[in-house]
Amino acid sequence: MRGTLTIGKILGIPIRLHSSWFLVAALITWSLAGGYFPQQYPGWAGTTYWIVGAITALLFFGSVLLHELGHSILALREKVPVRSITLFIFGGVAQINREPPTAGAEFRIAIAGPLTSLGLAGLSSLLGSAVASSAVLAAPLAYVGRINLMLALFNLIPGFPLDGGRVLRSILWGLGATFRSATRWASWVGRGVAFLFILVGVGQIFLGGFLNGLWIAFIGWFINNAAESSYQQIVLRDTLAGVKVRDVMTQQCLTVPKDMQLGRLVEDHVLGAGQRCFFVADEDDLQGLITLHNIRAAPRDQRDTLTASQVMTPTNSLFRAHPDEDLLTLIQRMDEADVNQVPVTDNGHLLGVITREHLLRYMRLRSELGI
């Protein structure tokens, strides 16, 4: 979910718009103003169609946001942290930091979204009936009511990671399956649902409904990828359970003196040896870190005069790890901070480094060994 814009917070949860949201918001507004409303409500002024279309699109995304807030509020009640809510091309997603602790908590968190959408569908219908005499007011409410009903029903499809798939997982988990086994079964069902979507979409394309068919097939592709990646996250969690940073860290980053010339560093160690990161240290005391990003930021014509200490990221600005930290926690922090290498320190003393490349190699080896 990179390429997002934070627009505010609700209950301490950052609300973000992904770049794809702007495209789909424009497309929904255009389809409503240019097709749906002129067919359903002929005779309005041209600007009225566009205003009502834009308002309806905003109400739709507001409904999606409330759907995700339904999940998030229940997650917070179950002591499960919520990192953010992001609106994107397929609607919205609440990014929860960890899995629910029990099957009951999973069920309550999963079902909260569809129940919220059903409540919004009922409320929209009631409000639409109350203002039925004014078509301009009733039209967006009627549309949003139907969309919320469809949103609730769609999310109840038992295809993981849709809400219905999470409900299915909670039921299997509650009946005695392990969390990983329940996730695997729910993921298989989710992939089966995804392939049905793809088949229906391809069928519609051949029958002449190109845009609708393409969209349905695209949704199926997204559900399939999400189901597979969600299960792999559980496998990763189980694989790395109990593994500490000290078990994986290496000395892959070379330590260089703070007065080393940047030009020499590039010639001898970047181009000559293929090194990508360097610790700047005074004996065992970490002073900073130099990465390829730091080197690229330095003017090329000044590399022979600049020293390591002048281009490094200083210790007080450095993202660091402790050797006794859980590796899975560190991976999550690295993902949130978007960093590729992390020095491992204890009381300011440099012990090693964790890099993304080394993490991938470590996980691949464990998988090949069946550990």
Distance between CA 38 and CA 62 in Å, rounded?
A: 23
Whether 134 and 13 map to the same domain: the answer is yes
What stretch of H or E contains 18?
Answer: strand 13-18
DSSP string for 239-295: HTTT-BGGGT-B--SEEE-TT-BHHHHIIIIIITT---EEEEEETTEEEEEEEHHHH
Assign 17 to helix, strand or coil.
strand
Q: Say if strands 254-256 and 4-10 run parallel, antiparallel, or are unpaired.
A: unpaired
Domain match, 325 and 348 both: yes
- Residue 193 in tokens: 């649902």
- Tell me which amino acid residue 339 is: V
CA distance 208 to 227: 29
Q: What is the CA radius of gyration of the chain?
A: 26
pLDDT of residue 251: 66
Residue 181 lies in domain: 163-239
From 185, 217, 239, the end of a domain falls on 239
Residue 121: CB atoms within 10 Å: 21
Strand ranges of the sheet holding 91-96, from the earlier edge strand across to the other edge? 4-10, 13-18, 82-88, 91-96
Decide the pairing of beta strands 13-18 and 82-88.
parallel
| pLDDT in the model for residue 293 | 80
In this structure, the answer to whether residues 2 and 150 fall within a common structural domain is yes
Q: Which of 193, 221, 239 is the last residue of a domain?
A: 239
Examine the fold and report which residue of 126, 156, 186 is the final residue of a domain before the chain moves on. Answer: 156
Classified as helix, coil or strand, 74 is: helix
Give just the sign of the alpha carbon dihedral 315, 316, 321, 322.
positive
Helix, strand, coil fractions of the chain, as percent rounded to 5: 60, 15, 20
Tokens of 342: 């992390």
pLDDT, position 272:
74
Phi–psi pair at 159, nearest 5 degrees: -120, 105
Task: Verify that 87 and 177 share a domain, yes or no.
Answer: no
Q: How far apart are CA 165 and CA 180, in angstroms?
A: 14
Q: Quick check: 39 and 64 in contact, CB under 8 A?
A: no
- 224: nearest Cα among 29, 130, 36, 90: 90
Indicate which CATH number applies to the domain containing 265.
Answer: 3.10.580.10
pLDDT of residue 316: 73
Q: State residue 175's pLDDT score.
A: 94
Q: 92 and 34 in one domain?
A: yes
pTM score of the predicted model? 0.74
* DSSP 3-state of 212: helix
Catalytic residue positions, numbered: 68
Distance of CA 254 to the CA centre of its chain: 33
- The total of structural domains in the chain comes to 3
pLDDT in tens, the chain (371 residues): 567 889 999 989 999 999 888 888 998 999 999 888 999 999 899 899 999 999 999 999 999 999 999 999 999 999 998 989 998 877 788 888 778 889 999 999 999 999 999 999 999 999 999 998 899 999 999 999 999 999 999 999 888 888 999 999 999 999 999 888 998 999 999 999 999 999 999 998 898 888 788 888 988 898 888 888 888 878 777 777 788 888 888 766 677 888 888 888 888 878 877 777 788 877 667 788 887 888 888 888 888 888 888 888 887 777 888 888 888 888 878 877 777 778 888 876 777 788 777 788 887 787 777 66
Structure confidence by residue, pLDDT tens digits, 74-120? 999 999 989 899 988 777 888 887 788 899 999 999 999 999 999 99
Residue 206: how many CA atoms within 13 Å on its side-chain side?
A: 5
Same domain, 150 and 46: yes
pLDDT at position 91 is: 79
Distance of CA 152 to the CA centre of its chain: 21
Could you give the CA distance from residue 221 to residue 195 in angstroms, rounded to a whole number? 8
